[in-house]
Amino acid sequence: MSEIKSLEPKSLWNNFDMICSIAHPSKKESKLVEALVEFATRHNLEHTIDKIGNVIIRKPASKGMENLKGVVLQAHIDMVPQKNADTKHDFETDPILPWIDNGWVRAKGTTLGADNGIGVAAILAVLEDKDAIHGPIEALLTIDEETGMTGAFGLEAGVLKGDILLNLDSETEGELYVGCAGGIDGTFVFDYKKESTPVGLSAFALNVTGLKGGHSGMDIILGRANANKVLFRLFKALEKVNIRISEINGGSLRNAIPREAFSTIAIPTDKVSEAKAIVEELTKEVKNEYSLVEPSLEIAFNATSLNANVIDLDTQSRLINAVYACPNGVMRMSDSMENLTETSTNLAIVKSDDKAISISCLLRSSVDSAKMDLAQMMLSVFTLAGAQSTFTGAYPGWKPNMESPILKTMQETYKNLYGKTPEIMAIHAGLECGLLGGVYPNWDMISFGPTIMNPHSPDERVNIDSVKKFWDYLLATLKNIPKK
């Protein structure tokens, strides 16, 4: 039995343990969908799977609460699959292995999936709790939030009847979120010609590892290093010794700050000593610049076997200059809310195959015009470099409503429980509320959750005490929902 099943509230943690036992990375949630349907069937709850694949479960109001407004409890069922380089784990088949670490729950070498598995587990716990006091409840469990918000994009109007949406996908207990950033994906492709590796070259693996990574929305403000930007800084410096690039593999997910970047390069044998000196000097510079935020940063420059081919020199030059110049990180802070990022971009993935090099970025902003201006800026950089550029998956932000009735109810409820008023926040991440509110404009919406640290990275962990507070607050909120 998993040790987390002994934690309180037992129902929530038992459900989270069940979720961890079933592989459910983005776009591979079918087994978890089956388990949710089985859960609903076992508890005699009305349920359906909509056209896009979201699971909807309904629970009638508890006795005497039929006159409360209907509540939609919402969370996404997919998780970000990230692991440490030395961890053997297949996210499509292997279970997540949670363990307790000094007041926190984390996973062994992988992301935990508390984002958003704790939210899903809380919803399931409400659905099976016979003593909970609440009005009509609809559970909306969406698919594929992390890689495209597919479930939210595909939700149809008229399917759900509730008046209030409680999104359980925020990550700091004691904060109520009333707004979020919108986003858009940028993809830039360089086609290249394979050239036979010239004679007289020696091959090296040039790798950047040991970075913290993290959520490209919530953690972008922390100023952590981007493995792809560091690698291309090295490439730029090594142009003076006539570097030739064979392959690149940096980053893995569009919404995770890249923690690692790997490459195979070739250098004229008579310039190897000069190249080593360049790498050593730049390593010192980068480590000094990031000494506080990236203490485990490592740059390795090790001899390896020579590849048969390299990227043609013209494409290589244009690629290095474009990625080196590409905007990355925080572009502008919010004028209306303190310490809130307004606009940012994450240079998430750079990968080569036999024909092309593809660069993937996720652009975020709470101001749609600023988001599109940033897209045009990046388009200009890559157009000048001769790359093919596409922008897809645009989703809107969620505009705060400070006159929200459910906001006032939840502020009062929290103060009654804990003797203080919760913080009112907006988040620089792509909550599904923006999309869902577009389909159901009548919804009064709030997002909240327990404290989760370092989501989208193997350092992800959820605070145990905050989960109990989150659960008690959720039950109290449901009990105090306004009447129709």
Report all structural domains of the chain as residue ranges with CATH numbers, in order of start. Answer: 3-181+397-479 (3.40.630.10), 184-395 (3.30.70.260)
The pLDDT, as a whole number, for residue 1 is 59
The pLDDT, as a whole number, for residue 363 is 97
- pLDDT of residue 393 exceeding 90, the answer is no
pLDDT (mean) for 432-456 = 95
Determine contact, residues 97/107, Cβ cutoff 8 Å: yes
Q: Model pTM greater than 0.85?
A: no
Task: Give the helix/strand (H/E) hosting 341.
Answer: strand 341-352
| Backbone torsions φ then ψ of 244, nearest 5 degrees | -125, 130
User: ∠171-79-411 over CA atoms, to 5°?
Assistant: 25
Q: Tens digit of pLDDT for each residue in 293-302?
A: 999 999 999 9
- pLDDT of residue 18 exceeding 70, the answer is yes
The pLDDT, as a whole number, for residue 84 is 87
Q: Tens digit of pLDDT for each residue in 80-98?
A: 999 988 899 999 999 999 9
The pLDDT, as a whole number, for residue 2 is 84
Q: Tens digit of pLDDT for each residue in 301-350?
A: 999 999 999 999 999 999 999 999 999 999 999 987 888 899 999 999 99
Q: Tens digit of pLDDT for each residue in 100-156?
A: 999 999 999 999 999 999 999 999 999 999 999 999 999 999 999 998 899 999 999
- pLDDT of residue 372 exceeding 80, the answer is yes
The pLDDT, as a whole number, for residue 382 is 98
Handedness of CA 216, 222, 224, 228 (dihedral sign): positive
The pLDDT, as a whole number, for residue 399 is 85
pLDDT (mean) for 182-209 = 97
- pLDDT of residue 418 exceeding 70, the answer is yes
The pLDDT, as a whole number, for residue 148 is 84
pLDDT (mean) for 478-482 = 97
**High-pLDDT (> 70) share of the chain, %:** 100
Task: Give the helix/strand (H/E) hosting 377.
Answer: helix 368-384
Those residues whose C-beta lies under 8 Å from the C-beta of residue 236, and which sit 6 or more positions away, are 320, 321, 324
pLDDT (mean) for 202-223 = 95
The mean-pLDDT minimum among 257-261, 354-358, 427-431 falls in 427-431
| Backbone torsions φ then ψ of 438, nearest 5 degrees | -70, -35
Report which of 140, 113, 55 is spatially closest to residue 458, judged by C-alpha positions: 113
In angstroms, how far is the first alpha carbon of the chain from the final one? 44
- 422: which DSSP letter? P
Determine contact, residues 243/444, Cβ cutoff 8 Å: no
Those residues whose C-beta lies under 8 Å from the C-beta of residue 325, and which sit 6 or more positions away, are 381
pLDDT (mean) for 177-186 = 93
Record the tokens describing residue 378, joined without a space: 């990046």
The DSSP string of 236-288 is: HHHGGGT-EEEEEEE-S-TTB----EEEEEEEEGGGHHHHHHHHHHHHHHHHH
> Environment class of residue 45 by beta-carbon count within 10 Å: exposed (0-12), middle (13-18) or buried (19+)?
middle
What confidence tier does 52 reach under pLDDT thresholds 50, 70, 90? very high
| Amino acid occupying residue 195 | E
Which residues are part of the catalytic machinery?
78, 145
The pLDDT, as a whole number, for residue 85 is 81
> Environment class of residue 126 by beta-carbon count within 10 Å: exposed (0-12), middle (13-18) or buried (19+)?
buried
| Average predicted confidence (pLDDT) for the chain | 96
pLDDT (mean) for 229-248 = 98
Determine contact, residues 171/452, Cβ cutoff 8 Å: yes
pLDDT (mean) for 194-212 = 97
Q: Tens digit of pLDDT for each residue in 460-479?
A: 999 999 999 999 999 999 99
Task: Give the helix/strand (H/E) hosting 387.
Answer: none
pLDDT (mean) for 204-209 = 98
